[in-house]
A = this chain, B = another copy of it.
Amino acid sequence: MGYKIITISREFGSGGHTVGRRLAEELGIKCYDREIIDRVAEESGFDKDYIKEKGEYVPHGPFGNMMNRWSYYGPTNEEKIWQIQSDIILDIADRESCVIVGRCADYLLKDRDDVLKVFIHADMKYRAERIVRLYGETNETPEKRLSDKDKHRKAYYQVYTDMEYGDARNYQICLNTGALGEDYCVELLKQIFTR
């Protein structure tokens, strides 16, 4: 199909990030995730942790008219980060074949025919076990941590893209890592990208 870019949107804890990294390795192309944060930090002067949080999660509400405020009060920090991040993603996609994880890259590149847009998800039980295994226990239950992350990621996606987070119709393929296994998801995506 002549795909050049793969965007991976993913539920927190689903292993979508790992799938993206491994897929890029197998394909011998670069995976952009933290590199985008580094570049936003360089260009904006904001702290990396601050960008990581603001660049994918909306921590407050209501969100409906957030973008409309721009012209009246000047851009907020979130809006500045969004703008810089968007420019960086468009620039990367123009330059090279790669995997881009998260950060609404699917939306930013939605009009290109050479982008394989992927959504990775898994059920709560799979994700809960996974985040405890990888990130350890905290005072909050893993289910609560996941549902908070889901809520904020969904809000962020909706504010900036005006599309429904997790709607299959925004993607060419959606995969459940819990049911299919991370290894097999990497294999399937590699096959689709290279056919």
Q: Hey, which bits of chain A sit against chain B, CB under 8 A?
A: 1, 11, 119, 121, 123, 164, 166-169, 171-176, 179-180, 184, 188, 192, 195
Contacts and interface: CB of A to CB of B under 8 A. Distances in A.
A21 to B, nearest CB: 21
Contacts of A168: 119, 121, 166-168, 171, 174
Contacts of A172: 175-176, 179-180
Nearest to A173: B175
A11 B167 CA distance: 13
Nearest to A121: B169
A7 to B, nearest CB: 13
A65 to B, nearest CB: 24
Contact of A166 (B1, B169, B195): B169
Contacts of A179: 1, 172
A75 to B, nearest CB: 32
Nearest to A178: B172
A172 B171 CA distance: 14
Contacts of A167: 164, 166-168
The 3 A-B pairs of least Cβ separation, nearest first, read A168-B174, A174-B174, A168-B168
Most buried by B among A168, A173, A180, A195: A168
A34 to B, nearest CB: 25
A174 B180 CA distance: 12
Contacts of A184: 195
Contacts of A176: 169, 171-173
